[in-house]
């Protein structure tokens, strides 16, 4: 017999998701600054996307394993909490060490060390993200589920916005230097990662110690299942061959809607990966007017280093990327408030398609924005002089934010109700393949396309991202939905991993 979960107070629901603020804080710092860090350590534009391959590969390998393991784990620390804590601790270590890569030059090249720490962070974020998504479902009663995911969305977006703008704030409000010499990392970025690591670990510890998960008997009683029978099933040892056979069986039996969503996901995430990797060099070249040669480590070495004015311009462009990424996260948060109502009124497919189209047009409009004339901008926390084109870039970020909100929400809403209860964690991990695979393809091809076809003019690779997002919008037409009602999952967060 199914029992109802006890109603939670606002602060109990808040505690369940509070750690997500810190994890997303760290993730946003990584997204906005890793290309900048790797470039400072000596990576060229062609190899940037190859370094970023670490993220989707880690997601591809880890999320299904963590999803399955957390479905089966029960100990005195809980079911999801152990994985959340392990992920947070290892991510903290990576965030503390990555900006210190030049200190390890006696043992390993800084760029290789930075790549290793990127792998550690990505693996750690994936370990933490997957069980965080399931924790709200485990703990919050059905009648409060919308509230639970709304609170989670608020915390996610706060973490994303603050994490993205932190290096800019440390430079323009605190006064830390945002330029770097060859082989070093700007102090503002170093301290941003220190602060991010502290916030990440602190908020996760808050969730872990303030959230007491249900015991197996209680949890399965809420689901109308016999905990002893489930335990017997999970206790059955299977050989590796049997496990692989089961996994292949799950892949074959996945809902048709998941397969068709995979096509949309491919075009969407192919484009997002390009944005995360190449926005910084694209706007540095196209808006700040920095010549392509200053992104070529060989030329920089032959020129005896980067001139001071070029270093300052690259630092300013790097800071502005954080502002732009914070902007699209903020626009996504606002759009997510009305997303459920729009989907109910006009249909999920139409809203999904138009949202992706808005994102594609946003990317394509980058080409039209190239005004390098300096202008003074009041950002409330400080005033700063940037090219006029940099300010105009807020307009395409509206479209990107709309697309991002839809990408985080509507695939899960369309998929809702088609997954078996006992296999939800595994299928969510499998669905992550549709996120990781296009990023891997993008990582392999984008750098080659940029250097070979576009002669390292990074704005052109952003145009390719725009075209890919438009194709995603068209692909939505071929999805056939089930008759289930729209489930307000627009607050479930998905990583780029």
| pLDDT tens digit at each of 497 positions of the chain | 456 778 889 899 899 889 989 998 998 998 888 888 888 887 888 788 888 888 788 877 787 677 777 777 777 778 888 888 999 999 999 999 888 887 776 677 777 888 788 888 888 888 887 777 778 778 888 778 767 777 877 888 889 889 999 999 999 889 998 887 766 788 999 999 999 999 999 999 999 999 888 877 777 777 666 666 666 666 666 666 776 777 677 677 777 788 889 999 999 999 999 999 999 999 999 999 999 999 998 898 898 888 999 999 999 999 999 999 999 989 988 888 888 788 888 988 999 999 999 999 999 999 999 999 999 988 887 889 999 999 999 999 999 999 998 898 788 777 755 666 566 656 666 777 888 889 999 999 999 999 999 999 999 999 999 999 999 999 999 988 755 443 444 343 444 44
- Cα 380 to chain centroid, rounded: 27
What count of other Cβ atoms lies within 10 Å of the Cβ of residue 476? 27
Closest alpha carbon to 467 in 446, 448, 444: 446
**What pTM, to 2 d.p., does this model score?**
0.79
Torsion 260-262-267-271 (CA) sign: positive
Residues across the chain: 497
Closest alpha carbon to 126 in 75, 74, 69, 189: 69
CA atoms within 13 A on the CB side of 156: 24
The H or E element containing residue 129 is helix 110-139
Domain ranges of the chain: 10-478
What string of DSSP letters covers 431-450?
Answer: HTHHHHHHHHHHHHHHHHHH
CATH for the stretch 10-478:
1.20.1250.20
Q: Are 351 and 339 in contact (CB under 8 A)?
A: yes
Which distant-in-sequence residues (6+ apart) come within 8 Å of 204 by Cβ? 19, 22, 23, 84, 85, 88, 128
CA distance 47 to 43: 6
Only one residue has tokens 């934010």, namely 401
Closest alpha carbon to 33 in 153, 198, 195: 195
């Amino acid at each position: 017999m199914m029992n109802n979960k006890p109603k939670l107070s606002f602060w109990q629901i808040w505690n369940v998701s509070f750690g997500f603020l810190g994890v997303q804080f760290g993730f946003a710092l990584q997204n906005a600054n890793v290309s900048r860090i790797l470039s400072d350590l000596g990576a060229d534009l062609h190899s940037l996307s190859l370094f970023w391959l670490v993220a989707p590969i880690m997601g591809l390998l880890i999320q299904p394993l963590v999803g399955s393991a957390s479905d089966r784990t029960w100990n005195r620390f809980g079911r999801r909490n152990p994985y959340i804590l392990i992920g947070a601790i290892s991510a903290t270590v990576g965030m503390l060490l990555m900006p210190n890569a030049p200190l390890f030059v006696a043992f390993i090249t800084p760029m290789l060390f930075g790549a290793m720490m990127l792998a550690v962070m990505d693996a750690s974020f994936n370990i933490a993200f997957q069980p965080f998504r399931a924790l709200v479902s485990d703990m919050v009663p059905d009648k409060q589920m919308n509230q639970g995911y709304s609170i989670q969305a608020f915390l996610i977006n706060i973490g994303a916005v603050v994490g993205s703008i932190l290096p800019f704030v440390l430079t323009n409000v605190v006064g830390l230097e945002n330029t770097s010499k060859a082989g070093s990392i700007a102090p503002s970025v170093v301290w941003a990662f220190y602060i991010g690591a502290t916030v990440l670990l602190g908020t996760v510890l808050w969730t872990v110690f303030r959230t007491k998960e249900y015991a197996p008997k209680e949890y399965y009683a809420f689901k109308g299942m016999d905990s002893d029978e489930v335990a017997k099933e999970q206790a059955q040892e299977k050989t590796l061959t049997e496990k692989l056979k089961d996994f292949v069986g799950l892949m074959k039996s996945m809902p048709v809607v998941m397969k068709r969503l995979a096509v949309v996901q491919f075009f969407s995430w192919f484009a997002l990966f390009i944005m995360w990797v190449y926005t910084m060099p694209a706007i540095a070249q196209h808006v700040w007017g920095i010549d392509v040669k200053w992104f070529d480590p060989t030329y920089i070495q032959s020129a005896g280093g980067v001139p001071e004015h070029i270093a300052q311009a690259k630092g300013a462009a790097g800071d502005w990327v954080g502002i732009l990424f914070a902007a699209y996260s903020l626009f996504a948060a606002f759009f997510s408030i009305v997303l459920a109502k729009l989907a109910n009124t006009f249909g999920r497919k139409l809203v999904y398609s138009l949202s992706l189209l808005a994102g594609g047009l946003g990317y394509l409009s980058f080409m039209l924005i190239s005004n390098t004339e300096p202008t003074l901008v009041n950002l409330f926390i400080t005033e700063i002089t940037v090219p006029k084109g940099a300010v105009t870039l807020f307009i395409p970020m509206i479209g990107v934010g709309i697309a991002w909100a839809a990408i985080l929400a509507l695939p899960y809403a369309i998929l809702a109700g088609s997954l078996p209860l006992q296999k939800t964690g595994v299928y969510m991990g499998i669905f992550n393949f549709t996120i990781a695979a296009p990023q891997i393809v993008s990582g392999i091809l984008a750098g080659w396309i940029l250097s070979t076809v576009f002669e390292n003019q990074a704005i052109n690779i952003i145009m390719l991202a725009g075209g890919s997002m438009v194709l995603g919008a068209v692909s939505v037409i071929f999805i056939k939905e089930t008759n289930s009602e729209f489930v307000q999952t627009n607050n479930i967060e998905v990583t780029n991993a």
